[in-house]
Structure 1
Amino acid sequence: MKRITLRAPRRAHGSVCQLCQFSKSFPRRHRTLHTTSISTPPRLNILLYPNATHATPQRRNFGPAFGLQNGIARRFASGVPNTGVHGDPEAMLQEVLKEFKTITSSPRVPSDEAVGQFLQRCSELVKIALSNNYKATLPPTPQGDNNATSSLLDLDVENGRNGNTISAVQTTPKKSTKTPSKKSSLQTKTAIKISSMLNDFLRDPKIFISPDVLRQYTLMQAQLMEAEHFPEIFSLYATKPIPNDNGSTITYHKPNPKTVKNAIPQELANIALDTAIEKKNLPLCLAIIDESFCKPAYYRSKIFRKAALPLAGLATAPTAAYAAASYISTLQTAMEPNTALWVSFSGILAYIGFTASIGMVAITTANDQMMRVVWIPGMPLRQRWLREEERAAMDKVAVAWGFKDPRRIGEEEGEEWESLREFIGMRGMILDKTDLMEGME
């Protein structure tokens, strides 16, 4: 006897296009996947789980979980930028600007902790704004576009079974062509806002520019490639009146710009100079050198850091020499102890003085580190030693503005180059001295 296969009649579709057929307005019927789990005898369940509540086993439905639309939704949901405050540079910028207005508009002097926390937030914002993962907050896409996109992707999958696959990956380059320019413009605007805010923050009379504040400011501006205000801030670091909060009123007292603590650190000055060189701004480079390496505070700081210990050793050398001579005079019998004492003392002092003089001359006359800028003949040795960082900075600027090819050194010309040569000559230096050039020894 033949079996007759019964099939359910298909529902007739109206005259609609394929896009409307697969849109969300006509929900699709998902096939329900039924699975049967291995059943456990009731008695065994009672023994293993006496406190468990046994319910009637039900069939699990995996249909909606593995639907095509859900998979596509999960696929595109992973690319949505995080709109949280800590991941959105625009929201973080607004919060930082709000905190900036709160600090500057307050009638009291902010504490060092508050200033440090504010600069730390600015540093985090700078890192996020300049990172490669910077994502701008875009307006939300209308719901109708999402439906059309999902419908087109459904058509892509359905048509792929018939060999008419339309690759969605081909549209990716068209979307990414405008991303770099938009990203760079947004980053530039954010960098300009942060840089201007930092400059106004340090100009505020109530803000005390400590060494840590100056360091954070220099590093952030170097990351933002905004070096135009380095000379102004370096000058404020040494000359800005120090605020003092007395409770009801704020008093200011003028600092001494020549003290050691008001010297610009060499590391920060080099960072600022490198940033100005990358910007190809010659007047800015010379201004940074003037405000950092050419100040009396920097000379005193260098003497304190590098010459204090040798000078202390020279000061204690006579006492140490006398003690050593007294001990040596007791070890001989050829001369009287008093005569041997003074002979030994004179010999030890002569050895120390001669060796120290030779070492000082060797240090101050060394020119192996010089490339294109050297001292003019007759420059005192103490000036050479004190102003070595200034000469090195001028040398760095000359190398950056001149030809990189060693065979063309000395052939530079132009208004900027001539002004640089004249500026270096006014400082007691020579640019491209012929006697020290390669092949002219």
Structure 2
Amino acid sequence: MNQLPLRSHRAAQLQRTVTCQLCEFSSTQARRSFSVGRGAAAAAAASNPRILTIRRPIVSRSSRLSLAQPLACQTGTLRYRSRQASSKNAHLLESEKQAVEGLETEHVANANGHSNASPANSHLSLREITSMIEGCAQKTSELLARSEVPGNAEVEELLLKYEEAARAIAPYWDVRDENAPSGEGKGNAVSSLLEMQEHEGSVTHIRDAEEILRTLADQVSTSMTQIIKDEKVFISPKALEHYIRAQCTLNRAEYLPEVFHLYANKPIPEEKSNPPKLHQANPKDVNSAVSADLANQAIDVAIKQKNLPLVLAMIDNTFCAPAFHHAKVFRRAAVPLVGLAAAPAACFTLASWASTLQNTMDPSTATGIAFAASLAYVAGTSSIGILAITTANDQMKRVTWLPGIPLRHRWLREEERAALDKVACAWGFRDPYMHGEETGEEWESLREFIGMRGMILDKTELMEGMQ
């Protein structure tokens, strides 16, 4: 007589498949399942092994609570997701798995000694950010109240602390776009900050937190600008870098053109002098040039703000400045020019040595022939390379040079043209077949500005469909 396999009731099978969607993918604790229908399942397995089915284990609540939670803001987000996942379908399982894996990865990194991160990279609470900025403001007041010229290292260290404070504000609230509507990312960031405050024992509403963050951002921007504008402070390249990066992080680009102008024209104070002794600055000096990376960062922030006059003022005080042109010639063309100047002497020395390796003609004649041949080769290859560098136009999108502009000017002002090209792409249509159809007062002023600089906007021969 055949034996019928015993199966557990369908309700018991359904009960075994009910699993917490967050804890199902956790690997920190061993998974334990309820003993529902265990005897019936064992009997069925003994009678017929083929009817065994894979069942998801159910994790107990104790193993869920033992999950490591190093960051309060991330655990708050996970709790919110776990409540939402209980009412949604299986398409949320993958996102919950990634969240738990990221949390476990951070926990392992902290255990391995990577938790000693700087305050600029770690998530700080609102109280910690406020205390950090208050300490910087106190040092700023002491520095500005002194009659002695402060040291460059002291100024750079203070601006570095302000930069760290700006980076500490950025993760919680997107202060880079004042006119943008409050989205999900912004609300989640502020909610995470409020949850951290709740763990510390202080409770603040979302609007209050946003206002506090805005006030702190304004305070950082204003204090740094006061330091840079003070006549006793020398704007070193490192100090300018800290200032620009902090202002770009806070989206405060209103004072950047003025600071760029001061960097090249501000009188240089003598360090540790009391009263301050000022020396006249040379705006055409190589050291007075703003680096291209910092200038592009500032221009990107102004483009994001959709402030065309601010963008053009930045271009005027960075890429159009004489110091930038001199610095480019000194840093990028000095070595090739020295090589070209030394080429005749090198060719003559090489020709004199080569004439001793033959006995078919007079040594002086052989030297002259070898010298002429080597010098012609160097001159020909150099001229072809110069033409290739100065006439390259693959990087041009909407702004090109007017006919008749010298090649040396095209190479020297390439960064200026690239910046105006970026501005034109940001203000115009994205569809290349719509280029040339833009209208408006700002667009006409931009076209006129580009034309006055020896360039042309949307040259007909280079537009899509007009070749």
* Residue matched to 2:253: 227
Q: Give the AA of the match of 2:456.
A: I
- 1:414 and 2:440 are equivalent in the alignment: yes
Q: Choose which of 269, 286, 290 in structure 1 pairs with 2:316.
A: 290
Q: What is the rounded CA distance, in whole Å, between the counterparts of 1:390 and 1:267 in structure 2? A: 13
Kept in 1, the 8 Å contact 2:256–2:314? The answer is yes
State the partner residue of 2:145. 105
**Among candidates 337, 360, 370, match of residue 344 of structure 1:** 370
Task: State which drifts further: 411-420 or 307-316.
Answer: 307-316
Q: 1:216 aligns with which of 231, 242, 246?
A: 242
Retained in 2: the 8 A contact 1:294–1:390?
yes
CA contact (8 A) 2:150 2:272 kept: no
Q: Counterpart of 1:403?
A: 429
- Residue 325 of structure 1: aligned partner: 351
Which amino acid is 1:199 matched to? T
- 315-324 or 328-337: bigger deviation: 328-337
C-alpha contact 1:88 1:137 (8 A) present in aligned 2 = no
Structure 1, unpaired ranges of 5+: 1-77, 143-174
CA contact (8 A) 2:125 2:193 kept: no
TM-superposition CA deviations, 1:389-411 (whole Å, max 9, x none): 00000000000000011221111
Whichever residue aligns with residue 129 of structure 1, its letter is I
1:114 matched to 2:140: no
Residue 15 of structure 1: aligned partner: none
Whether 1:259 and 2:289 are equivalent positions in the alignment is no
Classify 1:141/1:385 alpha carbon distance in 2 versus 1 (closer, same or farther; 3 Å): closer
| Residues 151, 271 of structure 2: 8 Å contact kept | no
Q: Deviations over 1:329-357 (max 9, x none)?
A: 12222321101101110111111111111
User: 8 Å contact 2:399–2:457 — kept in the other structure?
Assistant: yes
Q: Is the 8 A contact 2:267 2:281 kept in 1?
A: yes
Q: Distance in 2 between matches of 1:330 and 1:247?
A: 65
Mark the CA change 1:408 to 1:245 in structure 2 (over 3 Å): closer, same or farther: closer
Amino acid at match of 1:94: E
- Once the two structures are TM-superposed, the CA of residue 85 in structure 1 deviates from its matched residue by 9.9
User: Residues 280 and 322 from structure 1, CA distance in 2 versus in 1: closer, same or farther, beyond 3 angstroms?
Assistant: same
**Partners of 1:424 and 1:274 in 2: CA distance:** 18
The answer to whether 1:425 aligns with 2:465 is: no
Q: For 1:406, give the aligned amino acid.
A: P
Matches of 1:391 and 1:246, distance apart in 2 = 42
2:222 alignment counterpart: 196
Q: C-alpha deviations, 1:299-327, integer Å up to 9, x for none? A: 11001111011111111111110111012
Gaps spanning 5+ residues in structure 2: where?
1-71, 74-123, 173-191
Deviation at 1:129, TM superposition (A): 1.9
Letter in 2 for 1:202: I
Q: Are residues 365 and 141 of structure 1, via their aligned partners in 2, closer, same or farther at CA, if it must alter by over 3 Å?
A: closer
Within the candidate set 69, 79, 89, 2:129 is matched to: 89
Whole-angstrom distance in 1 between the partners of 2:257 and 2:433: 35
The change in CA–CA distance for 1:215 and 1:92 in structure 2 (over 3 A counts) is: same
Please tell me the residue identity of whatever aligns with 2:460: T
- C-alpha contact 1:130 1:187 (8 A) present in aligned 2: no
Over the residues paired in the alignment, what is the CA RMSD in angstroms?
2.6
Change (3 A) 1:232 1:327: same
| Separation in structure 2 between the aligned mates of residue 381 and residue 197 of structure 1, nearest angstrom | 44
Q: What's the secondary structure of 1:250's corresponding residue?
A: coil
CA deviation after TM superposition for structure 1 residue 141, in Å: 8.4
What corresponds to 1:184 in structure 2? Answer: 210
Cα distance in 2 between the residues matched to 1:246 and 1:184: 41
Structure with greater proportional helix content = 2
Pairing of 1:236-385 with structure 2 (within 5 A): 236-245=262-271, 247-385=273-411
Inter-CA distance 141–376: structure 2 relative to 1 (3 Å threshold): closer
**Which stretch of structure 1 is more off in the superposition, 258-267 or 313-322?**
313-322
Q: Tell whether the 8 Å contact from 2:149 to 2:273 is kept in structure 1 after alignment.
A: no
Match of 2:170, as an amino acid? L
Are the equivalent residues in 1 in contact too, given 2:149–2:274 (CA < 8 A)? no
> By how many angstroms is 1:435 displaced?
0.8
Q: Which amino acid aligns with 1:110?
A: P
SS state of the match for residue 269, structure 2? Answer: strand
Deviation at 1:137, TM superposition (A): 6.8
State the Cα distance separating 1:248 from its structure 2 match: 4.1
CA shift digits 1:266-300 (9 cap, x unpaired) = 11000000010011100000000000000111111
Checking the alignment, whether the CA contact within 8 Å between 1:373 and 1:391 is kept in structure 2 is yes
TM-aligned CA distance change 1:248 to 1:386, over 3 Å: closer
Change (3 A) 1:263 1:290: same
> Is the contact between residue 110 and residue 206 of structure 1 (CA under 8 Å) also seen in structure 2?
yes
Deviations 1:357-414 (A, max 9, x none): 1111111111110000000000000100000000000000000000011221111100
Whether the 8 Å CA contact 2:257–2:313 is kept in 1: the answer is: yes
Do the aligned residues in 1 keep the contact of 2:149 with 2:272 (CA within 8 Å)? Answer: no
- Partner of residue 150, structure 1: none
Structure 1 counterpart of 2:216, which letter? T
> Take 2:437 and 2:273, find their aligned partners in 1: how far apart are those partners?
64
Give the letter aligned to residue 271 of structure 1. Answer: Q
